[in-house]
Structure 1
Amino acid sequence: MPQLQALQLKMTEARQLDNAIDSARYAKEMIVFMKERDVNPLKNMIVPLAQAPLFITFFMTLRAMANTPVESMRNGLLFFVYEFDYNRFHFLAAHYITSATLYLTIEIDTASAHLSAQNM
Protein backbone atom coordinates (compact mmCIF):
# COMPACT_ATOMS: atom_id res chain seq x y z
CA MET A 1 0.00 0.00 0.00
CA PRO A 2 2.86 2.49 0.48
CA GLN A 3 3.56 2.21 -3.27
CA LEU A 4 -0.03 3.19 -4.02
CA GLN A 5 0.17 6.15 -1.65
CA ALA A 6 3.42 7.26 -3.29
CA LEU A 7 1.78 7.09 -6.72
CA GLN A 8 -1.20 9.07 -5.44
CA LEU A 9 1.11 11.71 -4.00
CA LYS A 10 3.02 12.01 -7.28
CA MET A 11 -0.22 12.24 -9.23
CA THR A 12 -1.54 14.95 -6.89
CA GLU A 13 1.66 16.95 -7.26
CA ALA A 14 1.48 16.63 -11.05
CA ARG A 15 -2.13 17.85 -11.03
CA GLN A 16 -1.23 20.81 -8.82
CA LEU A 17 1.51 21.76 -11.27
CA ASP A 18 -0.97 21.38 -14.18
CA ASN A 19 1.20 18.70 -15.72
CA ALA A 20 -1.35 16.58 -17.59
CA ILE A 21 1.19 14.18 -19.08
CA ASP A 22 2.72 13.16 -15.73
CA SER A 23 -0.70 13.06 -14.13
CA ALA A 24 -1.95 10.65 -16.80
CA ARG A 25 1.22 8.56 -16.51
CA TYR A 26 0.84 8.21 -12.73
CA ALA A 27 -2.85 7.41 -13.13
CA LYS A 28 -1.92 4.64 -15.58
CA GLU A 29 0.73 3.34 -13.16
CA MET A 30 -1.87 3.26 -10.39
CA ILE A 31 -4.27 1.28 -12.58
CA VAL A 32 -1.54 -1.22 -13.49
CA PHE A 33 -0.49 -1.53 -9.84
CA MET A 34 -4.07 -2.11 -8.71
CA LYS A 35 -4.62 -4.77 -11.40
CA GLU A 36 -1.38 -6.56 -10.48
CA ARG A 37 -2.31 -6.66 -6.80
CA ASP A 38 -6.02 -7.38 -7.45
CA VAL A 39 -7.05 -4.23 -5.60
CA ASN A 40 -10.56 -3.00 -6.33
CA PRO A 41 -11.63 0.17 -4.51
CA LEU A 42 -15.30 -0.74 -4.98
CA LYS A 43 -14.92 -3.98 -2.99
CA ASN A 44 -14.97 -1.94 0.20
CA MET A 45 -18.44 -0.64 -0.67
CA ILE A 46 -20.14 -4.06 -0.83
CA VAL A 47 -20.75 -4.45 2.89
CA PRO A 48 -21.99 -0.88 3.53
CA LEU A 49 -24.32 -1.07 0.55
CA ALA A 50 -25.74 -4.34 1.86
CA GLN A 51 -26.28 -2.71 5.25
CA ALA A 52 -27.85 0.49 3.87
CA PRO A 53 -31.48 -0.74 4.02
CA LEU A 54 -31.04 -1.75 7.65
CA PHE A 55 -29.45 1.56 8.61
CA ILE A 56 -32.16 3.54 6.84
CA THR A 57 -34.86 1.49 8.54
CA PHE A 58 -33.19 1.94 11.91
CA PHE A 59 -32.92 5.71 11.40
CA MET A 60 -36.52 6.06 10.28
CA THR A 61 -37.74 3.95 13.21
CA LEU A 62 -35.78 6.00 15.74
CA ARG A 63 -37.06 9.23 14.22
CA ALA A 64 -40.65 7.96 14.36
CA MET A 65 -40.14 6.83 17.96
CA ALA A 66 -38.82 10.26 18.92
CA ASN A 67 -41.84 11.98 17.36
CA THR A 68 -44.39 9.66 18.93
CA PRO A 69 -45.42 10.46 22.52
CA VAL A 70 -45.28 6.94 23.95
CA GLU A 71 -45.61 6.72 27.72
CA SER A 72 -43.26 3.76 28.04
CA MET A 73 -40.51 5.73 26.29
CA ARG A 74 -40.60 8.35 29.05
CA ASN A 75 -40.75 6.19 32.14
CA GLY A 76 -40.32 2.61 30.94
CA LEU A 77 -38.18 -0.06 32.44
CA LEU A 78 -35.08 -1.60 30.93
CA PHE A 79 -34.83 -1.02 27.14
CA PHE A 80 -38.07 1.01 27.19
CA VAL A 81 -40.13 -2.07 28.07
CA TYR A 82 -43.04 -0.98 30.22
CA GLU A 83 -45.43 -3.81 29.60
CA PHE A 84 -43.94 -6.72 27.76
CA ASP A 85 -46.23 -8.15 25.12
CA TYR A 86 -45.94 -9.95 21.80
CA ASN A 87 -45.99 -6.81 19.63
CA ARG A 88 -43.20 -5.13 21.54
CA PHE A 89 -41.11 -8.27 21.30
CA HIS A 90 -41.04 -7.99 17.49
CA PHE A 91 -40.39 -4.26 17.74
CA LEU A 92 -37.40 -4.76 20.03
CA ALA A 93 -36.17 -7.85 18.19
CA ALA A 94 -35.84 -5.82 14.99
CA HIS A 95 -33.61 -3.32 16.77
CA TYR A 96 -31.48 -6.02 18.37
CA ILE A 97 -31.05 -7.78 15.03
CA THR A 98 -30.07 -4.50 13.36
CA SER A 99 -27.56 -3.75 16.12
CA ALA A 100 -26.11 -7.25 15.89
CA THR A 101 -25.71 -7.04 12.11
CA LEU A 102 -24.04 -3.64 12.45
CA TYR A 103 -21.58 -5.09 14.96
CA LEU A 104 -20.88 -8.12 12.74
CA THR A 105 -20.44 -5.91 9.69
CA ILE A 106 -17.88 -3.77 11.47
CA GLU A 107 -16.02 -6.83 12.75
CA ILE A 108 -15.99 -8.58 9.35
CA ASP A 109 -14.96 -5.42 7.52
CA THR A 110 -12.16 -4.78 10.00
CA ALA A 111 -10.95 -8.38 9.76
CA SER A 112 -11.00 -8.32 5.96
CA ALA A 113 -9.11 -5.02 5.94
CA HIS A 114 -6.40 -6.56 8.13
CA LEU A 115 -6.18 -9.62 5.87
CA SER A 116 -5.95 -7.56 2.70
CA ALA A 117 -3.30 -5.33 4.29
CA GLN A 118 -1.23 -8.40 5.18
CA ASN A 119 -1.42 -9.70 1.61
CA MET A 120 0.01 -6.48 0.17
Structure 2
Amino acid sequence: AQPDRFAAAMPSAGGCEPWNDMSRIVEVPIWTFHGDADATVPVDLTQDAFQQLNALNANTKYTELKDVGHNASAYGFAYTGDDPQRGFITHFASDQCDKTEDVWDWLFTQKCG
Protein backbone atom coordinates (compact mmCIF):
# COMPACT_ATOMS: atom_id res chain seq x y z
CA ALA A 1 0.00 0.00 0.00
CA GLN A 2 1.03 3.59 -0.46
CA PRO A 3 -0.25 5.67 2.47
CA ASP A 4 1.44 8.74 0.96
CA ARG A 5 -0.67 8.34 -2.19
CA PHE A 6 -4.02 7.15 -0.84
CA ALA A 7 -5.85 8.96 1.94
CA ALA A 8 -8.34 6.11 2.40
CA ALA A 9 -10.03 3.15 0.76
CA MET A 10 -13.68 2.17 0.64
CA PRO A 11 -14.02 -1.32 -0.89
CA SER A 12 -17.43 -2.87 -1.39
CA ALA A 13 -17.95 -6.65 -1.60
CA GLY A 14 -14.29 -7.00 -2.44
CA GLY A 15 -13.05 -9.70 -0.13
CA CYS A 16 -9.37 -10.44 0.14
CA GLU A 17 -7.45 -13.64 -0.41
CA PRO A 18 -5.96 -15.04 2.82
CA TRP A 19 -2.39 -15.01 1.53
CA ASN A 20 -2.32 -11.21 1.08
CA ASP A 21 0.02 -9.37 3.45
CA MET A 22 -2.36 -7.24 5.51
CA SER A 23 0.50 -5.49 7.32
CA ARG A 24 1.02 -3.42 4.16
CA ILE A 25 -2.29 -1.59 4.65
CA VAL A 26 -2.59 -1.13 8.42
CA GLU A 27 -1.95 2.63 8.24
CA VAL A 28 -4.43 3.35 5.43
CA PRO A 29 -7.91 4.17 6.75
CA ILE A 30 -10.28 1.58 5.28
CA TRP A 31 -14.04 1.29 5.58
CA THR A 32 -15.27 -1.84 3.85
CA PHE A 33 -18.85 -2.94 3.18
CA HIS A 34 -20.10 -6.43 2.39
CA GLY A 35 -23.54 -8.02 2.23
CA ASP A 36 -23.91 -11.28 4.13
CA ALA A 37 -26.03 -12.70 1.28
CA ASP A 38 -23.40 -12.04 -1.43
CA ALA A 39 -23.37 -15.05 -3.77
CA THR A 40 -20.62 -13.59 -6.01
CA VAL A 41 -17.84 -12.85 -3.50
CA PRO A 42 -18.18 -14.85 -0.28
CA VAL A 43 -18.56 -12.58 2.75
CA ASP A 44 -16.12 -14.76 4.69
CA LEU A 45 -13.27 -13.38 2.55
CA THR A 46 -13.99 -9.90 3.91
CA GLN A 47 -14.65 -11.19 7.43
CA ASP A 48 -11.31 -13.03 7.43
CA ALA A 49 -9.46 -9.98 6.10
CA PHE A 50 -11.05 -7.83 8.80
CA GLN A 51 -10.01 -10.32 11.50
CA GLN A 52 -6.41 -10.19 10.23
CA LEU A 53 -6.49 -6.39 10.26
CA ASN A 54 -8.07 -6.44 13.70
CA ALA A 55 -5.14 -8.54 14.97
CA LEU A 56 -2.77 -5.91 13.52
CA ASN A 57 -4.62 -3.04 15.24
CA ALA A 58 -5.29 -1.52 11.81
CA ASN A 59 -7.16 1.66 10.98
CA THR A 60 -10.04 -0.33 9.51
CA LYS A 61 -13.77 -0.56 9.98
CA TYR A 62 -16.12 -3.11 8.48
CA THR A 63 -19.86 -2.84 7.96
CA GLU A 64 -21.71 -6.06 7.30
CA LEU A 65 -25.11 -5.62 5.69
CA LYS A 66 -27.69 -8.28 6.60
CA ASP A 67 -29.66 -9.80 3.71
CA VAL A 68 -27.75 -7.76 1.11
CA GLY A 69 -26.20 -9.46 -1.91
CA HIS A 70 -23.36 -8.33 -4.16
CA ASN A 71 -24.87 -4.83 -4.41
CA ALA A 72 -23.34 -3.65 -1.11
CA SER A 73 -22.06 -0.49 -2.81
CA ALA A 74 -25.65 0.75 -3.22
CA TYR A 75 -25.88 0.78 0.58
CA GLY A 76 -22.26 1.61 1.38
CA PHE A 77 -22.05 4.71 -0.79
CA ALA A 78 -25.21 6.08 0.87
CA TYR A 79 -24.37 4.99 4.42
CA THR A 80 -25.31 7.44 7.17
CA GLY A 81 -25.02 5.19 10.21
CA ASP A 82 -25.72 1.77 11.62
CA ASP A 83 -29.24 0.37 11.70
CA PRO A 84 -29.32 -2.57 14.12
CA GLN A 85 -32.95 -3.36 13.27
CA ARG A 86 -31.92 -4.00 9.65
CA GLY A 87 -28.73 -5.77 10.70
CA PHE A 88 -26.38 -3.05 9.41
CA ILE A 89 -23.56 -3.02 11.97
CA THR A 90 -20.07 -1.49 11.80
CA HIS A 91 -17.11 -3.14 13.55
CA PHE A 92 -13.84 -1.37 14.36
CA ALA A 93 -10.40 -3.01 14.20
CA SER A 94 -8.86 -0.57 16.67
CA ASP A 95 -9.40 2.55 18.73
CA GLN A 96 -7.65 4.64 16.06
CA CYS A 97 -10.62 4.21 13.67
CA ASP A 98 -12.63 7.33 12.94
CA LYS A 99 -16.12 6.67 14.34
CA THR A 100 -17.86 9.04 11.89
CA GLU A 101 -21.09 7.36 10.75
CA ASP A 102 -21.69 9.13 7.43
CA VAL A 103 -19.54 7.49 4.77
CA TRP A 104 -18.83 10.66 2.79
CA ASP A 105 -18.04 12.73 5.90
CA TRP A 106 -15.67 9.94 6.92
CA LEU A 107 -14.01 9.72 3.50
CA PHE A 108 -13.39 13.43 3.10
CA THR A 109 -11.84 13.86 6.56
CA GLN A 110 -9.06 11.37 5.78
CA LYS A 111 -5.60 12.69 4.90
CA CYS A 112 -2.61 11.19 3.10
CA GLY A 113 0.46 10.10 4.99
Common fold: TM-score over 0.5: no
TM-score bin, normalised by smaller chain? under 0.3
Larger relative helix fraction: 1
Higher relative contact order (CA 8 A, sep 6+): 2
